Amino acid sequence: MRYFYLLLTVLLFACDPQWRNDSRFMAYAPIYVSKEEANQIGAEAAKPTVLPGKIYAYGNYLFQVEQNHGIHIIDNSNPQQAHKISFLNVPAASELAVKSGFLYTNNLDDLVVFDISDINSPRLVNRVENAFPQISQEYPPLNGAYFECVDPSKGVVVGWEEKLIENPKCRR
């Protein structure tokens, strides 16, 4: 009998979670940006970094993408006291580069240009629509992964997060 319990214990631990009542498991969920959100663009007060993205150095300034949300602008003229000046809200931003006082980034699939010659008041000066249609992401980053199916009515998928999902239906 003792061996039976032992065997039972082993069998219980061997169970795949899907065999139990809990049908949730780690899978990918799409991160959406709606078209309405996508248009809210411009400088805001500095705020904490949540999901740090790409970095860029230009003169006395540093820039760091807040993944899918915008760009932190940092004064680095004295590195000992480097500090955030502001946050440039650019929904779905993931990239940036700077030349001669102009900052290039992506707002969803558009290329947008900010005049940052006055770093305290960046101004949106230009937009090239649909420059990067492929930045939208139809699939999670890994092949073979389960994911929550995309609902286009919620907006454009700008990224994927991994979390516990109830019975994800899609798989790539």
Partner 1 sequence: MKILNAEDKPTIMRKLLPIIAIFFLFGCDKSSSSDSSAYATGGGKGGSLARFTVVGDYLYTVDKQTLKVFDIADPSKPSLKRSVDAGFEIETIFPFKDKLFLGSTSVVYIFSIDDPSNPQKLSEAISPTVMRRCDPVVAKDNVAYSTLRTNGPCGGTTSVLAVYDITDIKNPVQKNAMPVGEPYGLGYSDTTLYVCDRRYGISVYNISKPYSPVFIKGVTTSSFPNFIDVIAYNTILICWTSTGIILYDISVPQNPTLIKQIS
Does residue 172 interact with partner 1 by CB under 8 A?
A: no
70/100 Cα distance (integer angstroms) = 20
Cβ contacts of 9 within 8 Å, gap of 6 or more: none
119/103 Cα distance (integer angstroms) = 11
Does residue 139 interact with partner 1 by CB under 8 A?
A: no
What character string, x for contact with partner 1 (CB under 8 A) and - otherwise, covers 39-68?
A: ---------xx-xxxxxxxxx--x-x--x-
CB 98 within 8 A of CB 63: yes
83/48 Cα distance (integer angstroms) = 11
Number of residues that bind partner 1 (CB under 8 A): 59
Instruction: Considering only residues 85 through 104, tell me which ones interact with partner 1, judged by CB under 8 A.
Output: 94-102, 104
**Which residues sit at the interface with partner 1, rule CB under 8 A?**
16-18, 25-27, 48-49, 51-59, 62, 64, 67, 72, 74, 76, 79-84, 94-102, 104, 111, 113, 115, 125-126, 128, 131-135, 141-143, 145-146, 159-162
